[in-house]
């Protein structure tokens, strides 16, 4: 986590060709990166937010949110609304704070020593960082899927019903029904229905990740948080997960962090481009990818800057 | 940068140096491994070979010496005398009852002839060791009448011996059974009766000195205070919010306080409940005494009946005599030294081995029957003969008990250290201390166990706090109330020491944190004082302790197991900590992400994931504890105690008794035996058995672990 923060601006190692572009201080005479340069100088430029997002009904409201890891500030005064019932993607180069922002929503950052926040986030109107909030019941309202598939070392069935188990649900028929429904939603029912009692660790990476998604949605979360869910998977598995995200977005609000611009373009309805803990541009995905307001966004989504 | 580049270009790489050649190291390291392995294999081989040949029946020699003396014996050793260079042989000659040493060195030049007569037999007897001789007859003795000869001559005797001996042994074991079970139970009933009276007497002498009533009054005061506190906390719950607390925090505080209050109330009721105040008066005591006397009289009659029954069976049994004659003196094996002129009872024979005529199958039969006797019976003759059954049971039970004690203790400690405690200077200090604990010489634990567990804790269990340590009831109840209030205060300060979400701990939080630790420490001290200075508790076995037979206040199984648990604690803590640390953080995050609490995560994810590692720790602890002897000598292992530590009578595990242990048994056989020559082969055999048992216990544990592993983990871990 700290590494990500310290490396304030490094090019993605998987895209070495872009490196030379990334280190150019500014885009040259015809392409001045005004906003990015301002952010690099430590200024606080106003993010470009498209009206579609402002007008949409929001499920998560982030208001002037700032976050520090000890002395290092990782998020600088972010305000954004996550529209209800849509897929919102957070994109940006490594260390831009998109994962941190995602993990702030279910307060996973509480587990890190020395984290301090200012400002507020509210989920369906109820504040997340108020002193009276019970962090356990907050996390029960959200589902989360991590970068690396992390099924527990138990059977597939037990993995999926884990959130219900910890709520003390013991009735077998309830658990079985929830498990099947959830696995079907995660588009993996047909693959695992005959081996529900087998260990989940015996599945392939992509299957494991879909079991994790099934686990995240089994208790009907208000928002599903996906933290680079495909970064550890092969292209075929990635494609399946992407299809799955499109499917479940019909029923859940999804917030997804991704490194992969194509993925953001394919699965999301809204995209927020972040840079060094600030939002640069935030709007409908189609607009952002085809006619962005800023030259930085255009260059970033087309891979010329990163 | 450019400098380095140029030097790189100029320097050519050198030839491979001689020191870079690796083959000698391969040989050296491989050789070292082979030497280590060889030593271990040799050790095991030595034990196995020496241990397993003990029970093989060997030929009985009839040796004629140059001075005309003839004796029967088994050659056990052959060696060259260092000074003269002459050869000499060690014969096991037995026949201790006629006043000779059971082993004899004979110079080879003295020997005129050595034969192996077919009719020579070796008798293994219940007492006085082995007897070598030639069977002469079996007789039935009738009081006041002529004896009937049932068989005469070596062949006849051996023929009829088989059936007669089988029946005689059955009768013998029936007698043993009667003595042990029937007489034993009558004895213990009489003991219980006497102890009950003794207890009642002690209690009535103590009388009702008003302490208990005072305790009750104070208990009500305490309860009132408690409710008042709860009320105040409820009314002032807004106060906390100003201090940076929250409603959630208040709720938690009130919930915890409620639980503490309930527990304390139940405790107080249990300690000074009204039903505790009943004291036996003199008239009741008289009735009790009369009742007990009646029951005792009845029991004594029963006792005499059983004794008569035993006598009758014994008399029948004693009619049957076996006459085995020793060649030199012509004397037969007697009943005992005091009855030297009477031939021995058939039932006294454990085994009759006609070694010189045995076929290989027959020898194997004797071999296995000796092994079975060794494994399944009690020791005889100062442990040099008979079996080691109580020793095996003692060892196994002790090992299991210590594992049962040490595993939860170590796991809980490691869980706190790794999951709850804030990692820092203090935790590293504790880790170093725990590791050092593993290096403390084991005898030190023995001394500690004897002083602390046996005498201090055991003494407290037996008789309660000593007279001088007992507090006045008022002081004690005051302390009780204080402990309760402090406990709640501890929880309150702990709650307020947590910073608000997303905030760094303020100095208020930090000071609250330190305060909480101080309060916890005070509560701990108070609880220890409350227990050790309790005025109401007079021990569970006061009457017995006053009679001079302490129950738990002496060396015993429980304290030995606890001492060994303490000794092996570092092993479990270290192994568990490593296992817990090896559970990937992504699992914990996944669980938290599902809305699990810390404890739920630990119970459902961390502990199961760490279970194989924890079991490894338990296995290591078991292996270490099973082999430990030095502390046991201080805290409970004895030379002889045929009462098993487990039985079918309540409480099934008699943890207060001293016990026999294989490790101590080996030491005893080797160095404390009155007949060291006879005991020497048994040292090897017992060592072999000890190795086998420790191996079997470990193997069982490893099997359990691998089954668990297969159940928990998938194929791709």
Buried b (16+ CB within 10 A) or exposed e, B159-168: eebeebbeeb
CA B154 to chain centre: 48
The sign of the torsion formed by the CA atoms of B242, B248, B249, B253 equals positive
Instruction: Tell me: do A64 and A77 sit in the same domain.
Output: yes
In tens, the pLDDT along A47-87 reads 889 988 888 899 999 999 999 998 899 999 899 999 998 99
Together in a domain, A99 and A240: yes
Q: Are residues A13 and A162 in the same domain?
A: no
Nearest CA in chain A to B585: A150
Mean pLDDT by runs of 10 across the 717 residues of chain B is: 52 81 90 97 94 91 90 90 88 85 89 90 88 89 81 85 88 89 89 87 72 64 75 65 56 79 81 66 86 92 93 89 85 83 87 89 93 91 87 93 95 93 91 91 95 93 86 84 88 85 85 92 95 85 84 91 95 94 92 92 91 90 90 90 80 86 92 85 93 90 84 50
From chain B, the residues in CB contact with A212 under 8 A are 590
Query: Quick one: A131 and A54 in the same domain?
Result: yes
Is A278 within the bounds of a domain?
yes
Please judge whether A114 and B504 are an interchain contact, meaning their C-beta atoms are less than 8 angstroms apart. yes
Domain end: A198, A220, A242, which one?
Answer: A220
Same domain (yes/no): A134, A154:
no
User: With helix as H, strand as E and coil as C, how does B287-315 read?
Assistant: HHHHHHHHHHHHHHHHHHHHHHHHHHHHH
A201, B596: Cβ pair inside 8 Å? no
Check whether A14 has a pLDDT greater than 70.
no
Token pair recorded at residue B526 = 């108070």
Residue A306 lies in a domain: no
Q: Is A199 on the interface with B (CB under 8 A)?
A: yes
Among A203, A220, A237, which residue terminates a domain?
A: A220
Q: Give the closest-approach CA distance of B237 to chain A in angstroms.
A: 13
The HSE-up count of residue B301 (CA atoms within 13 Å, CB side) is 5
For position B239, what pLDDT does the model report? 55
On whether the pTM is more than 0.90, the answer is no
* 3-state class (DSSP) for residue A170: coil
| pLDDT for A286 beyond 50 | yes
- Find, among B347, B269, B279, B276, the residue nearest to B314 by Cα: B347
Q: Is the pLDDT score of A16 beyond 50?
A: no
- The distance of A214 to chain B (nearest Cα, Å) reads 11
In a domain, A118, yes or no: yes
Are A58 and A173 members of one domain? no
Note whether B595 contacts A219, CB cutoff 8 Å: yes
In a domain, A28, yes or no: yes
The answer to whether A162 contacts B717, with C-beta atoms less than 8 Å apart, is no
| Tokens 């109580």 found at | B390
Of A132, A198, A215, the CB nearest to B248: A132
3-state secondary structure of B580: helix
Run of H or E residues at B443: helix B442-448
Chain B residue set in contact with A, beta carbons under 8 Å: 241, 244-249, 500-504, 584, 586-587, 589-597, 600, 604-605, 608-609, 712-717
Residues A178 and A268 placed together within one structural domain of the fold: no
* Half-sphere exposure in the Cβ direction for B496 (13 Å, CA): 21
Domain count of chain A?
2
pLDDT at A164 over 60: yes
Q: Do A108 and B587 touch (CB under 8 A)?
A: no
Contacts of A198 in chain B (CB under 8 A): 714
Q: Which of A102, A152, A163, A222 to mutate against chain B (most B CBs within 10 Å)?
A: A152
Residue B243: its chain A contacts at CB < 8 A?
Answer: none
Closest Cβ opposite residue A199 in set B246, B608, B714 = B714
How many C-beta neighbours within 10 Å does residue B656 have? 22
- Which chain A positions have a beta carbon within 8 Å of B248's beta carbon? 131-134
Share of chain A above pLDDT 70, in %: 90
Is the predicted pLDDT of residue A272 greater than 80, yes or no? yes
pLDDT at B267: 83
User: What domain range is A167 assigned to?
Assistant: 148-220
pLDDT at A99: 92
Are A122 and A252 members of one domain?
yes
Helix (H, G, I), strand (E, B) or coil at B549: coil
Q: A136–B586: do the CB atoms touch at under 8 Å? A: no
User: A269 with A280: CB under 8 angstroms?
Assistant: no
A247: in domain: yes
* ipTM of predicted complex: 0.87
A7 with A52, same domain: the answer is yes
- CA-based nearest residue in chain B for residue A121: B502
Q: Which residues of A touch B245 (CB under 8 A)?
A: 131
Query: Any idea what the Cα angle at residue B436 is, between residues B432 and B437, rounded to 5°?
Result: 120
- One domain for residues A175 and A266: no
Whether the predicted pLDDT of A224 surpasses 70: yes
Q: What is the domain-level CATH number for residue A195?
A: 3.40.50.300
Q: Can you give the residue ranges of every domain in chain B?
A: 208-278+472-537, 389-464+539-587+614-682
Domain spanning B389-464+539-587+614-682, CATH architecture = Orthogonal Bundle (1.10)
CA of A183 vs chain B CAs: smallest distance (Å):
16
Q: Please confirm whether the linkage preceding B207 is cis (ω < 30° from 0).
A: no
């Amino acid at each position: 986590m700290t590494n990500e923060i310290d490396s304030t601006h490094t090019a993605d190692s998987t895209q070495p060709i872009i490196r030379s572009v990334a280190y150019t201080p500014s885009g040259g005479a015809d392409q001045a990166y005004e906003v990015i340069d301002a952010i690099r100088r430590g200024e606080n430029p106003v993010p470009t937010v498209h009206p579609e997002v402002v007008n949409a009904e929001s499920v998560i409201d982030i208001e002037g949110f700032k976050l520090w890891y000890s002395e290092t500030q990782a998020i600088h005064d972010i305000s954004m609304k996550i529209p209800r019932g849509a897929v919102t993607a957070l994109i940006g180069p490594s260390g831009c704070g998109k994962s941190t922002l995602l993990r702030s929503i279910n307060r996973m950052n509480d587990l890190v020593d020395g984290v301090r926040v200012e400002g507020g986030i509210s989920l369906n109107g109820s504040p997340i960082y108020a002193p009276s909030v019970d962090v356990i019941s907050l996390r029960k309202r959200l589902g989360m899927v991590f970068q690396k598939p992390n099924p527990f070392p138990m059977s597939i069935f037990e993995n999926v019903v884990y959130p219900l188990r910890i709520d003390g649900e013991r009735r077998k028929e309830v658990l079985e029904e929830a498990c099947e429904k959830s696995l079907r939603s995660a588009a993996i029912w047909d693959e695992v229905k005959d081996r529900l009692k087998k260990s989940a660790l015996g599945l392939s990476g992509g299957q494991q990740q879909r079991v994790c998604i099934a686990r995240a949605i089994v208790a009907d979360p208000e928002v599903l948080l996906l933290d680079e869910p495909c970064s550890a998977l092969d292209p075929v598995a990635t494609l399946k997960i992407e299809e799955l995200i499109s499917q479940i977005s019909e029923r859940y609000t999804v917030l997804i962090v991704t490194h992969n611009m194509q993925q953001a373009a394919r699965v999301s309805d809204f995209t927020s481009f972040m840079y060094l803990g600030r939002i640069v541009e935030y709007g409908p995905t189609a607009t952002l990818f085809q006619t962005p307001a800023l030259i930085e966004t255009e260059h970033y989504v087309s891979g010329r800057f990163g | 940068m450019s400098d380095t580049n140029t030097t790189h270009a100029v320097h050519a790489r050198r030839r491979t140096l001689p020191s870079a050649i690796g083959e000698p190291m391969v040989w050296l390291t491989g050789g070292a491994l082979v030497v280590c392995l060889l030593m271990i294999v040799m050790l095991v081989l030595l034990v196995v070979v020496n241990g397993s040949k003990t029970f093989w029946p060997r030929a009985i020699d009839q040796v004629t010496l140059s001075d005309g003396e003839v004796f029967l014996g088994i050659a056990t050793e052959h060696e060259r005398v260092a000074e003269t260079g002459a050869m000499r042989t060690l014969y096991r000659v037995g026949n201790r009852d006629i006043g000779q040493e059971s082993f004899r060195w004979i110079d080879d030049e003295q020997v005129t002839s050595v034969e192996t007569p077919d009719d020579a037999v070796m008798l293994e007897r219940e007492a006085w060791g082995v007897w070598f001789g030639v069977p002469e007859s079996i007789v039935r003795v009738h009081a006041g009448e002529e004896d009937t000869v049932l068989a005469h001559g070596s062949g006849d005797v051996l023929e009829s011996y088989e059936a007669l001996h089988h029946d005689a042994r059955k009768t013998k074991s029936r007698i043993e059974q009667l003595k042990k079970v029937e007489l034993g139970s009558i004895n213990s009933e009489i003991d219980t009766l006497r102890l009950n009276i003794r207890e009642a007497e002690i209690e009535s002498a103590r009388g009702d000195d008003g302490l208990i009533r005072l305790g009750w009054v104070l208990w009500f005061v305490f309860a009132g205070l408690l409710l008042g506190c709860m009320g105040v906390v409820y009314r002032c719950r807004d106060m906390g919010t100003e201090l940076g607390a929250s409603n959630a925090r208040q709720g938690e505080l009130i919930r915890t306080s409620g639980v503490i209050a309930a527990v304390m109330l139940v405790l107080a009721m249990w300690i000074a409940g009204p039903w505790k105040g009943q004291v036996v008066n003199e008239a009741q005591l008289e009735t009790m005494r009369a009742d007990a006397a009646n029951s005792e009289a009845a029991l004594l009659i029963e006792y005499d009946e059983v004794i008569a029954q035993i006598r009758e069976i014994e008399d029948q049994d004693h009619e049957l005599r076996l006459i085995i004659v020793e060649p030199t003196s012509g004397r037969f094996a007697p009943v005992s030294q005091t009855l030297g002129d009477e031939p021995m009872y058939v039932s006294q024979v454990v085994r009759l081995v006609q070694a010189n005529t045995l076929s290989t199958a027959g020898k194997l039969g004797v071999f296995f029957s000796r092994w079975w006797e060794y494994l399944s019976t009690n020791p005889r003759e100062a442990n040099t003969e008979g079996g080691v059954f109580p020793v095996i049971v003692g060892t196994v039970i002790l090992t299991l008990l210590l594992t049962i004690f040490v595993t939860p203790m170590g796991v809980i400690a490691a869980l706190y250290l790794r999951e709850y405690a804030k990692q820092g200077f203090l935790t590293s200090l504790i880790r170093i201390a725990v590791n050092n604990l593993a290096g403390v010489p084991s005898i030190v634990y023995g001394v500690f166990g004897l002083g602390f567990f046996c005498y201090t804790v055991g003494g407290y269990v037996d008789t309660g706090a000593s007279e001088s340590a007992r507090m006045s009831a008022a002081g004690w109840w005051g302390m009780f109330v204080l402990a309760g209030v402090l406990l709640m205060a501890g929880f309150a300060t702990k709650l307020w020491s947590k910073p608000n979400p997303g905030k760094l701990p303020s100095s208020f939080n930090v000071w609250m944190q330190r305060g909480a630790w101080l309060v916890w420490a005070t509560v701990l001290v108070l609880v220890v004082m409350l227990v050790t200075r309790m005025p109401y508790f007079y021990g569970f076995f006061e009457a017995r302790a006053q009679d001079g037979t302490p129950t738990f206040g002496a060396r015993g199984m429980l304290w030995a197991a606890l001492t060994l648990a303490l000794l092996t604690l570092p092993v479990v803590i270290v192994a568990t900590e490593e296992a817990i640390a090896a559970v990937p953080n992504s699992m914990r995050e996944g669980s938290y992400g599902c809305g699990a609490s810390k404890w739920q995560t630990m119970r459902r994810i961390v502990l199961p994931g760490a279970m194989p590692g924890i079991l490894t720790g338990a296995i290591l602890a078991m292996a270490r504890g099973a082999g430990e002897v030095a502390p046991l000598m201080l805290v409970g292992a004895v030379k002889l105690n045929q009462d098993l530590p487990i039985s079918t009578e309540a409480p099934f595990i008699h943890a207060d008794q001293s016990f026999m242990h294989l490790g101590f048994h080996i030491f005893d056989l080797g160095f404390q035996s009155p007949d060291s020559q006879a005991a020497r082969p048994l040292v090897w055999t017992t060592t072999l058995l000890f190795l086998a048992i420790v191996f079997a216990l470990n193997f069982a544990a490893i099997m359990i672990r691998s089954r668990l592993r297969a159940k928990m983990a998938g194929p791709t871990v």
